[in-house]
Structure 1
């Protein structure tokens, strides 16, 4: 396997080098230059965006310097459109043609005239704005970024202000993993369950824009403590088709993957689809636990293990659209996803007293398997009105179904004073959800009024069973104390009303959402139940002020609700490691979090976003560990015992150092205070939590783009301990082999670190504990992308839709 991997890497490197030098030798390029001035005063204009594009895509973008000058080298011969755009000025476009006989083209003086009206929002401008700061969100226009043709959606997330990607390829919003991801304003089961896999398989070119919503207005559900990431896919095609496909391979941990999208439009009917899949192999890695206890019979537990596994994942999502007429639109959606993970684990466990006398020993072998899958669909009807195109009435229905099955088979050998028999565990879970929603938007001059009602009906079921081996009968006998059928049904009824008002340099948004939640949980086998009923008013306020050209200030406040999800509530006890058990808690209640944020944005030669944020919550859900001296087992579970406070800052800078070299720096750093009652004792912990990221990209004259990036994540602070810090670094190269059709990219990540080590140190009143595990960190990746079809017009889609962001665990796990 190692020899094959080295040969594959050699072939990849040779292909990149051959393509690189061949393209350098064959391509002839030209230089475009000029000076942009004010038409009235003939004064040089700084920070004007100069965008060079073909009929279908942006090629290069640059900003003018202090003297109004610009210079764009490395342009291939051909016909282009040069667009000049600046805030406060009318945009201007010039057709140009570069030939092999004309190595330089000087446009000399380009005059721009002032706009009669000031823009009501601040943008980094290109032919299409790259970044737009609105009252409650920041929008990144992916199609205005030339690199979108060669990046995956996950790679692109590194460039979006307020977002970052850590060393485990988890996307963070302002350093926080507790958020929600939507696709086209709708929740997606496939991306909620497997965000890394979907984003790695999704070509960035298939995305129109990414919205980062830090102060969600009242029309959004109240969950997602850090905010919402909304991915709008590209549907631009007119009576034709457009698509892309991406093939990639990752080693030594990983494997082949494919992803892509296609859009078709014929008359009033339009359809789009995005798809992907991957096969992955995880070579053998090591893990161990060390636990020291101080009650009962004080002892030291040492546990060493080795595990390896394979996984596969596939997904398909489709959206359909039918224009009845200019005022009536019907859209629908259908999606499926499924996956499987197999794991082989062997571990040796030894428990001794402080003086070294052995208490018990055993070897355990577990061949575990988990399977998941689901499907979803929806139907939307949108009614427009002749008197105002922004007046809308929308009715939406959506359903989804998700299954999750776990199967562990534990076999124990080499026993010493350990009487637990061999055992099997299964947990079959289903989650069904139905949503109906009615929204109405009514603009009145500069005031926009929205209102609506919504009902969410969730039906969750978990059938968990455990069977112990009976030596007398030679068969496995079900253990009734570890077997039950658990149902958790949740009904959420809500109504909202919000207002948005825009002046020349001010924007205001305010709203109120009322939510009634009813929870009925039943343990069918044991005839017991848990009922909950709670009501919440959720306010949101956002203010936007344009200070001057290219600079804006945003202030926001909102409350967010964190409802426990089924994975937090499910009482199933995972005993795949008999010394350490994992379980949910059906008695959990929701958490109300208060968020304040202040952000300053400056869009000139450099794009700068600086923010301050403060949040606090009581009765937060904390993951705890308790040690039972009688059984010698540590139990992980969840409880409403925490009080959290967080004060932090975040920064994002994108700066073109030269015409070819670009710097991107971002980071989030917060000081966290945690406190709660554990085993009757007050427990406190605090510290810094966050990340920093830096990236450099360099564009060569022949079209090659080189990228280097580095990030560092601080330890993760928990109520009973913390994890270790870790760095991440990598380099990549990419190039269009066939202009606007075929592109090749390759990357190397963490070449000098074979493994990433995960270390968690935790402590309680009666124990201290440290866990260690590994994942392959060194990675080599190669990707080939092909684009086909032609970009013309766009498919209509609903401007309002269902957005269920109300249950905990959205985005990545590990939030407050």
Structure 2
């Protein structure tokens, strides 16, 4: 398979090379103003006369000259755009000889009389203004019914990964807006996967300011890659959308609908889906939100001052984890999933008032059957575990958000935000786990049957006020937030734990567990921040800030041993605690900002006060935890706009995190008899220091992109979990502090067009070094992991009828253990994929996607491969091609499984999950278009 993909890449390169030789000519010329002065950096394009599709593009040099080499000897349309000038257009007919010199052309300066002419002539496949690239979708053909995601894949400089992640000019897109407005919050995939390509008039890619920079009015030198989708006039007024339904083999069903209704001030959208095809269910982030542990880190949080002093989290000690014991790792593409989801989004914008609100609900019923093989090693012993388990999960999640921004007057702005999560779920888990000593001797055997039922409610509310003083650069900002995060749940735990003596078939001892765990967690947080910016001069600014947070946690955990109709309280596992964590930080930063160079150096003084009490029950005698941690936290950052889309950045930061209350409590948790946890009241705060540097470059003239960077992080008093493994292979963990752990990473990316508008190639590589320290049976184990990642991506679009995308990715993880060098592991994972789209006669389209995954670990004899082939045929039907009939085949080789492998601390693990494999689907899609395409503006047409 590797050879096939390598041969495919070579064929593409040969085709590209052949396309540049034989019967070709060079086109050159110069663009100038009416006085004959050359216009540098003008966008120059060659278009095909038949449909104005883009053939080649570039930018003029300093003297206004341009040159295109190796052109086919065909007629072209030359189109040139330059800010402030009337777009220029000229028909090109190749002259005799190898070079056609068009000479010097003059461009007219834009004035009011020429405005109507500009409107007619302004349409161009792409235009470049500074760091903004604007595309005209009409020049990049996609099949009927295609989504914005399909369109983005055709645009030069754009990439869309298989999971929907968007990259522009080599950088990950952080925000997608529609007509400048948010679409389902900051979900970059909501718009691209649901809006039709035919609705888009322009695609704009640019570097936007960060949310904090917009709020405070201070340029912080940071950028967020943003894509704005400008709707056609025909879709700004009226409704449009898409509905599809499908049925397949093995009772597979799916349905999806989206509808949008926009006008100049309002945007309204609804989406919905349902399926049992493992598509579009609950993501990992959704699951974390559901558990209430995402801490509302959704931007706009109003935490002023430099980052890294201490992340003011909202969540607590993650006691919800106890409610999902043995739930295992999920994933919507593993196992068998039934998904339902739906939501609505509304935007209002009248310049002075911006309002956005959205609601989204999704639920997933998931069944997982997995086998996990794990090898564990100590300094003098190696043992294996084989875990066969089954999980039946239900997760339901409501999400609501609101953002209101009011420009009160020219100097005052108010922003109000609210984000809400409501969730509930159940987990039914059974497993058979066996422990084997060396030579495959059975040591322990555990049978578990757990059932949990839990729910959560969380809401975060923030208000931000900004005031601009008359003096330029002087600003004041204040924020206030109130957050609630409540959860409760019940878990019934049953297990039979058998312990065997060597060479005996009957257990030496048996430990039965039958318990009910009822946990309630009530968490509240109040926080506030102040920021004052004083301009010292035109280039220097002094930023002073204050942060305050008061977080209150109250957790009740009641554990009862269940007997014959009688529940007996288990006082060794039951616990109650109430904790208050107060955070204060004051600091100042001196910032220099001039001519693209932004440097800031600051220092903050902070105190964390943890005031807690805990007992077996709420009415017992309390033990107390009273800790104050004082730290001085420095921060340095730098960014430099080198112009011409080149950026250099770097910085140093220090962060301090207090230990969790649950780790501080000297309580033994033996709810799992084979894995016991013990707290440590003597823990200190962990400190991490990190430094990074990077460089980005994008050449809009030839769409070449380069970026690379490095990061180093060092840990002091890092909280790690010591392990004591006894003769029965029972593990006891205790949190403790240790210094010396560190991480280093380097990443790089290089992309360029092989043939402009036809083929592109992107190469990337990265290196990661992790040094982790853990004490195992009182012996310090240094786990060192060297990670090497390599990837390439290419696309080939010789015509509107044929496109192919190919990827190859390799990951090598080389892990070494000081405690047992003989167990060093080298894990190699590979992924090879290709996607083909081809238009057949009579409006029939063919699509195929092939994935080939490999998983290798020679040390344990693990060698798996998984080829997945999906193919489909579809035909556009009905008037105006509003309908689509599609026949699809998924996983034709019937090889799909969920496979994962990794090495960490003192173990290496492989997991295989039975999951949805081969099936066939027949579907119908209808594109709703509420407004005809004949809409025209008064006075001119498109």
TM-score, normalised by the number of residues in structure 2: 0.58
CA contact (8 A) 2:722 2:736 kept: no
Change (3 A) 1:322 1:47: closer
Establish whether residue 541 from structure 1 lines up as the match of residue 624 from structure 2.
no
Pick the aligned partner of 1:424 from 490, 501, 516.
516
Q: Quick one: distance in 2 between partners of 1:615 and 1:598? A: 12
Query: Of 653, 661, 674, which residue of structure 2 is paired with 1:559?
Result: 653
1:440 aligns with 2:532: yes
Equivalent residues in 2 for 1:196-215, closer than 5 Å: 201=190, 203=192
Q: Residue in 1 aligned with 2:494?
A: 411
The corresponding residue for 2:321 is none
CA contact (8 A) 1:757 1:775 kept: no
User: Deviations along 1:322-378, whole A, 9 cap, x unmatched?
Assistant: 232222222211221233443322111334555766554342112234534411122
Q: Which residue of 2 aligns with 1:121?
A: none
The counterpart of 2:387, out of the listed 300, 303, 307, is 303
Q: CA deviation at 1:538?
A: 1.8
Deviation of the 1:256 alpha carbon: 4.0
**Within 2, Cα distance between the matches of 1:290 and 1:418?**
23
Contact 1:447 1:502 in 2 (8 A): yes
Of residues 512, 531, 542, the one that matches 2:602 is: 512
Q: How many residues were matched structurally?
A: 688
Give the structure 2 partner of residue 241 of structure 1: 266
Deviation digits for residues 749-804 of structure 1 (CA, Å, limit 9, x no counterpart): 9987623323344565xxx5645354859799999998999xxxxxxxxxxxxxxx
| Secondary structure, aligned partner of 1:418 | strand
Give the distance between the partners of 1:60 and 1:150, measured in 2 at CA: 21
Check if 1:596 corresponds to 2:692: yes
Pick one of 408, 425, 431 that aligns with 1:347. Answer: 431
Which string of whole-angstrom CA distances, capped at 9 and with x for unpartnered residues, describes residues 695-716 of structure 1? 4456686699875545444438
Shift in CA distance, 269/691, structure 1 to aligned 2, threshold 3 Å: same
Q: Equivalents in 2 of 1:328, 1:581: separation in Å?
A: 56
Q: Distance between the aligned counterparts of 1:490 and 1:496, measured in 2? A: 20
Whether 1:395 aligns to 2:490 is no
Find the aligned partners of 2:538 and 2:649 in 1 and give their Cα distance: 20
Matches within 5 A, 1:19-34: none
What CA distance in whole angstroms lies between the structure 1 residues aligned with 2:730 and 2:626?
A: 27
Equivalent position to 2:911, from 759, 769, 772: 772
Structure 1 window deviating more from structure 2 (730-739 vs 279-288): it is 730-739
Partners of 1:143 and 1:127 in 2: how far apart? 9
| Structure 1 residue 520, shift from structure 2 partner | 0.5
Say yes or no: does 1:459 pair with 2:554: no
In structure 1, the residue matched to 2:934 is: none
Contact 1:676 1:682 (8 Å CA) reproduced: yes
Distance 1:329 1:293, change over 3 A: closer
The residue aligned with 2:577 is 485
Aligned to 1:608: 705
Q: Which residue of 2 aligns with 1:321?
A: 405
- Which residue is equivalent to 2:58? 64
- More relative contact order, 1 or 2 (CA 8 Å, 6+ apart): 1
What residue number does 2:723 align with?
A: 626
**Secondary structure in structure 1 of the residue aligned to 2:512:** coil
Render the CA deviation track for 1:595-648: whole Å, top value 9, x for unaligned: 131425242413323324241413263654613316643356654325244444
Q: Return the offset for 1:681.
A: 3.2
Say if 1:442 and 1:449, in contact at 8 Å, map to a contact too. yes
- Equivalent in the alignment of 1:469: 561
Partners of 1:170 and 1:43 lie apart in 2 by 40
Looking at structure 1, the residues matched to 344 and 717 of structure 2 have their Cα atoms a distance apart, in angstroms, of 40
Distance 1:507 1:693 in 2: 33
Q: Aligned partners of 2:679 and 2:357: how far apart in 1?
A: 36
Local SS of the residue matching 1:420:
strand
TM-score with structure 1 setting the length: 0.66
2:81 corresponds to 1:84: yes
Which residue number corresponds to residue 366 of structure 1?
450
What is the CA RMSD across the aligned residues, in angstroms? 6.0
Partner of 2:360: 276
After the TM superposition, which of the residue ranges 296-305 and 471-480 deviates more from structure 2? 296-305
Q: How does 1:710-725 map to 2 (within 5 A)?
A: 710-715=808-813, 724-725=827-828
CA distance in 2, matches of 1:63, 1:676: 54
1:38 and 2:134 aligned:
no
**Secondary structure of 1:422's partner?**
strand
Is the CA contact 1:460–1:566 (under 8 Å) kept in the aligned structure 2? no
Query: Which deviates further from its counterpart, 434-443 or 574-583?
Result: 574-583
**What stretches of structure 1 of length at least 5 have no aligned partner?**
1-33, 53-58, 74-81, 99-106, 116-124, 133-139, 185-190, 221-226, 790-816
Could you tell me whether the CA contact under 8 Å between 1:732 and 1:747 is conserved in 2? no
Aligned mates of 2:204, 2:754 — CA distance in 1: 27
Give the Cα–Cα distance (whole angstroms) in 1 for the partners of residues 523 and 697 of structure 2: 42
Instruction: Rate the CA distance shift 1:449–1:732 in 2: closer, same or farther, 3 A.
Output: farther
Alignment-derived partner of residue 26 in structure 1: none
Q: Distance in 2 between matches of 1:570 and 1:241?
A: 52
Distance in 2 separating the partners of 1:614 and 1:461: 35
Deviation at 1:516, TM superposition (A): 0.4
Output one character per residue of 1:15-53: Cα deviation in whole Å (capped at 9) or x when no partner: xxxxxxxxxxxxxxxxxxx9884306787978837699x
Residues 595/426 of structure 1: CA separation in 2 closer, same or farther (3 Å cut)? farther
CA distance in 2, matches of 1:591, 1:745: 56
Say which of 43, 58, 68 aligns to 1:48: 43
Aligned twin of 2:244: none
Which stretch shows the higher mean deviation, 39-48 or 708-717?
A: 39-48
Q: Deviations over 1:165-203 (max 9, x none)?
A: 7x9999999x99xx999999xxxxxx99xx9xx665565
User: Is this contact kept in 2: 1:307–1:343, CA < 8 A?
Assistant: yes
**Cα deviations by residue, 1:297-338 (Å, 9 ceiling, x for unpaired):** 996654332324232333221111223222222221122123
Q: Write out per-residue CA displacement over residues 713-757 of structure 1, whole angstroms, 9 at most, x where no aligned residue.
A: 443869888795544547487999999x99999999998762332
Q: Deviations over 1:65-87 (max 9, x none)?
A: 795569999xxxxxxxx8835xx
Using a 3 Å threshold, how does the CA distance of structure 1 residues 751 and 658 change in structure 2: closer, same or farther?
A: farther
Larger Cα-atom Rg: 2
**Which residues of structure 2 form unaligned runs of 5+?**
1-26, 48-52, 61-65, 73-78, 92-101, 111-124, 178-183, 196-202, 217-221, 232-261, 279-332, 499-506, 616-621, 819-823, 838-846, 848-873, 932-942
